[in-house]
C-alpha cells in the first residue's frame, strides 16, 4: 500500500524522461491530484467524481511543466522545483483558509472500499495482498503493464525512446519531437494524478497539508534506481515501501534505530545506483535538453 503512489509517480517520471524531459514536479502532480480529488469527492460525496478529477489535476501541473520546459526551454530542474513550491504553497493556503474552517463540506469525502477478486483473492499470501484492493490499485496494474508493453512494443514507444535518446535523428525521419514530448508530459500528469488520488479517496478520504510527504521525490529516486524501466521502477518502489514500513515496525518492537535512518534508504539506494555499484545506470541521452531545429 505504501508503494502504490510511488509506482504511479515513477511511471509519470518514466514517461517524461524517456521523452527527454526531466520531471522534478512529480511531488506537485501527486499533491495537486490528492487535493482536487479530496475536494471533489467531498462536494459530490462521490469517489467516482473524485477519481475522474484527479488525473486532470495532475495534467494541469504537467501543462505548466510542458509549457515552460518544452516551449520556452526553461531549465527543467528549476521549473520542476518551482512548480512543487507553487503547489505546496497553494494547497497549504487553501487548506488553512477553507478546508479546516469548512471541513464538513469541503474536506470530508468518502473513500474507496476494497474489491475482492473471486478466486484470485483466495490464493495464499499473495491473494489478499494483490487481489483485495481498491480500484486505484487495479488501475495501477493495468497502467504499469500498458506502459511496459507500449514503450517497447509499439510505434509510439519507439518514437518516445527516439526523441529521448537522439531527437535529431527522430526529427530527420519526420517525428515532431516537441509535439510528442508535450503529449507524453501531459500523459504523465494523468498517470500521476491517479496516484495522487490514492492519498485521499484511496485511503483516508480527506486532504491534509503536504500529505504526500515527499513521495514524488522518492518516486523519482525509484525511477533512477530502477534504471528508467517500468519493471525496475516498480521493484524499486516496492523496496522503498518496504523500508518505509520497516521503520514503523522497528519502532513498535522497540529496536533503538532512529526512524530517520530508514527514511534515508531511498536516497542512499539511489546514490549507490548512480555511482555504478549495482551496475551501469544511464539516463536517456537527451534527458533535460530542450530541442529545437536550430540546436542540431
For cell 522497528, what's the residue? Answer: 250
DSSP 67: I
Task: Indicate whether 44 pLDDT > 80.
Answer: yes
CA distance 286 to 292: 12
Q: What is the pLDDT of residue 276?
A: 61
Query: What is the mean pLDDT of the segment spanning 264-270?
Result: 74
Strand (E) or helix (H) holding 133:
strand 132-133
C-alpha grid cell for residue 87? 503547489
Q: What is the pLDDT of residue 274?
A: 64
CA distance 262 to 202: 25
C-alpha grid cell for residue 33? 491530484
Task: Indicate whether 221 pLDDT > 90.
Answer: no
For cell 515552460, what's the residue? Answer: 68
Please name the residue ranges forming H helices in the chain.
4-17, 26-44, 47-66, 76-94, 103-106, 126-130, 135-153, 155-165, 167-172, 177-199, 215-225, 230-253, 259-263, 265-274
Q: What is the pLDDT of residue 2?
A: 85
Residue 32: which pLDDT band, with cuts at 50, 70 and 90? very high
Amino acid at each position: 500500500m505504501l508503494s502504490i503512489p510511488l509506482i504511479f509517480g515513477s511511471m509519470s517520471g518514466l514517461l517524461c524522461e524517456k521523452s527527454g524531459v526531466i520531471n522534478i514536479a512529480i511531488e506537485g502532480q501527486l499533491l495537486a491530484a490528492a487535493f482536487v480529488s479530496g475536494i471533489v469527492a467531498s462536494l459530490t460525496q462521490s469517489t467516482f467524481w473524485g477519481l475522474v478529477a484527479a488525473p486532470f489535476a495532475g495534467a494541469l501541473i504537467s501543462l505548466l511543466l510542458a509549457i515552460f520546459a518544452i516551449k520556452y526551454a526553461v531549465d527543467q530542474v528549476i521549473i520542476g522545483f518551482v512548480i512543487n513550491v507553487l503547489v505546496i504553497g497553494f494547497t497549504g493556503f487553501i487548506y488553512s483558509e477553507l478546508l479546516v474552517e469548512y471541513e464538513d463540506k469541503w474536506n470530508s469525502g468518502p473513500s474507496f472500499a476494497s474489491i475482492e477478486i473471486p478466486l484470485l483473492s483466495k490464493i495464499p499470501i499473495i491473494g489478499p495482498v494483490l487481489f483485495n484492493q481498491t480500484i486505484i490499485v487495479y488501475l495501477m496494474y493495468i497502467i504499469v503493464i500498458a506502459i511496459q508493453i507500449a514503450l517497447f512494443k509499439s510505434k509510439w514507444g519507439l518514437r518516445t525512446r527516439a526523441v529521448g535518446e537522439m531527437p535529431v535523428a527522430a526529427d530527420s525521419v519526420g517525428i515532431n519531437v516537441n509535439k510528442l514530448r508535450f503529449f507524453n508530459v501531459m500523459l504523465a500528469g494523468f498517470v500521476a494524478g491517479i496516484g495522487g488520488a490514492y492519498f485521499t479517496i484511496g485511503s483516508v478520504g480527506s486532504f491534509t497539508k503536504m500529505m504526500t510527504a515527499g513521495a514524488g521525490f522518492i518516486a523519482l529516486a525509484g525511477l533512477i534506481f530502477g534504471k528508467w524501466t517500468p519493471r525496475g521502477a516498480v521493484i524499486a518502489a516496492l523496496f522503498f515501501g518496504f523500508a518505509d514500513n520497516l521503520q514503523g515496525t522497528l519502532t513498535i518492537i522497540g529496536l533503538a534505530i532512529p526512524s530517520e535512518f530508514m527514511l534515508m534508504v531511498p536516497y542512499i539506494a539511489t546514490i549507490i545506483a548512480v555511482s555504478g555499484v549495482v551496475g551501469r545506470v544511464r539516463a536517456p541521452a537527451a534527458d533535460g535538453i530542450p530541442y529545437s531545429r536550430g540546436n542540431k
